[in-house]
Amino acid sequence: MRPKKNADIEARLRVIVGNTVRKTTSYNDIDLKNWKNYDHIETGSLWLFNERARGNGHKFDYHGNYIPQIAHQLYTRYTKPGDVILDMFLGSGTSAIEAVNMRRRCIGVEIKPDLVEKVNEKLKDIDKDNFTKIICEDSSSSRVCKKINNFLEKFGVEKANFLILHPPYADVIKFSNKKKDLSNCESTEEFLEKFAQVAQNGYECLENGRYAALIIGDKYSKGELIPLGFYCMQKMKEIGFKTKSIVVKNITGNEIGKGKANNLWRYRALAGGFYIFKHEYIMIFEKSKKA
């Protein structure tokens, strides 16, 4: 008996463009009949980027934002032009800026009013078609879904087509003095509880059968490794997401230079028996078509 083919592989669309028939998935416009032409798209689980992409609205002016290449890769794989990306931790706006660059739309949630103002200022010169909507709100609150749904309605859709979660790595960097900011959680347990609330809100606003990406790193605390990435992955699974892949990405170019502090960290690592983080995770999840 022949093995049953994976449903994802069988669920292809035949798209006619001019006199050419293209073979695509339902969630991107990659022509699978010409798959060899997509060398620029990462399909391996190790991503190495030597430096942060700049230009087209992107600046490295905020410590803790992820590099634009991640958004570009994810949007290419999991969205089409016109799709709506939902970012529950918008930060300095990488998701929104790349969405505009790639003709996608974006709804971003950010708890800090000054960052919302800063991102709106960045988008003023590049978002001529009003492809982005930003909500100043606690993304773990019960109010946020209503606000997201209001913007989805304005975009003419019922649900978002792709979800991005890039939370603080617990208290590694304090991003504000707001109590509801996840970087101010007093324990890992509190952080995971609040993260789960945010992920649940994102899940509710995401279209069935579509994908989500969690960008996360781990931390050390009192001489012990705290695997935040895998803890958050478990929370995603408990909510109902199916884990599709775990990508390991280098963090070169994703942090402000430490200068002389590099030698201090090398000493601490040698003395303390641990290794210095040089990677973070990009975890890919799928929401069931029948959720």
What's the pLDDT tens digit per position in 180-222? 889 999 999 999 999 999 999 999 999 999 999 999 999 999 9
pTM for the whole structure: 0.89
Looking at the fold, whether 35 and 135 belong to one and the same domain comes out as: no
Buried b (16+ CB within 10 A) or exposed e, 73-94: bbbbbbbbeebbbbbbbbbbbb
Is residue 256 classed exposed, middle or buried when 0-12, 13-18 and 19+ CB atoms within 10 A define those classes? Answer: exposed
On whether residue 62 sits in a domain, the answer given is yes
- Give me the domain span that covers residue 203: 45-286
User: Out of 57-66, 84-93, 129-138, 204-213, which region has the weakest mean confidence (pLDDT)?
Assistant: 57-66
Residues 136 and 198 placed together within one structural domain of the fold:
yes
Q: Specify the number of domains making up the chain.
A: 2
Would 140 be classed as within a structural domain? Answer: yes
Task: State the Cα–Cα distance between residues 109 and 88, nearest whole angstrom.
Answer: 5
Cβ(144)–Cβ(193) under 8 Å? no
115 vs 179, more confident: 115
277 in any annotated domain? yes
Q: Is pLDDT at 16 greater than 70 in this prediction?
A: no
Residue 291 forms part of a structural domain: no
Find out whether 216 and 284 touch, Cβ atoms under 8 Å.
Answer: no
- On whether both 75 and 126 belong to a single domain, the answer is yes
Q: Are 19 and 50 part of one and the same domain?
A: no
Phi first, then psi: give them for residue 25, nearest 5 degrees: -85, 175
What is the share, in percent, of the chain residues with pLDDT greater than 70?
A: 88
Residue 91: pLDDT over 50: yes
In a domain, 123, yes or no: yes
